[in-house]
Homo-oligomer: A and B are copies of this chain.
Amino acid sequence: MKRDSRLSGVLHVLLHMAQQPGPFTSETLAKAMDTNPVVIRRIMAGLRELGYVRSEKGHGGGWRLACDLSKVTLRDVYAALGSPSLLAMGNRTESPGCLVEQAVNAALDQAFHDAEALLLSRLGEVTLAMLGEDLRKRLGSRKIHDISAHRA
């Protein structure tokens, strides 16, 4: 797999859930995302632990939102995934004895750190509610999107 798409995926799920009351089974969500129910449960596990969503077993069970969408940022969601590494590049050796490599690492670390900080900052500026608002604009006059129609 080329790149980590868990953040993209879990946001997709959350935004879908925000459009309808729920609950949603992992299977329903998986169909909408064209993936496997276990994958859904996996990426949702961290959000459940942080209380952003709740899950229930048995008949009528499934996933429900359990947070104020205007208080949860994309950065929070990212953190709920376990804060996977943001950059595809890194240093060859983290604590090299070679002074040459230390000089290289210092220069790269600075650039890497700045980029990571900016990305986290940007993610922290966007709430799930804002995403929902943007979606509403995109939907325009259309009827609220039904997740069950997603399969088309």
Contacts and interface: CB of A to CB of B under 8 A. Distances in A.
Interface of A: 2-9, 11-12, 15-16, 19, 32-33, 74, 84-92, 98-108, 110-112, 114-116, 118-119, 122-123, 126, 130-131, 134-135, 138-139, 145, 150
* Centre residue among A7, A105, A139 by max chain B CB count within 10 A: A7
Copies of this chain present: 2
18 contacts: A3-B90, A7-B108, A12-B100, A12-B101, A12-B104, A15-B104, A74-B108, A86-B87, A86-B89, A87-B87, A88-B88, A102-B138, A103-B131, A107-B134, A111-B119, A111-B126, A115-B119, A118-B118
A87 B88 CA distance: 5
* Centre residue among A90, A111, A131 by max chain B CB count within 10 A: A111
A147 to B, nearest CB: 9
Contact of A122 (B84, B105, B115): B115
Contacts of A8: 89-92, 101, 104-105, 108
A104 B12 CA distance: 6
B86 A7 contact: no
Nearest to A149: B98
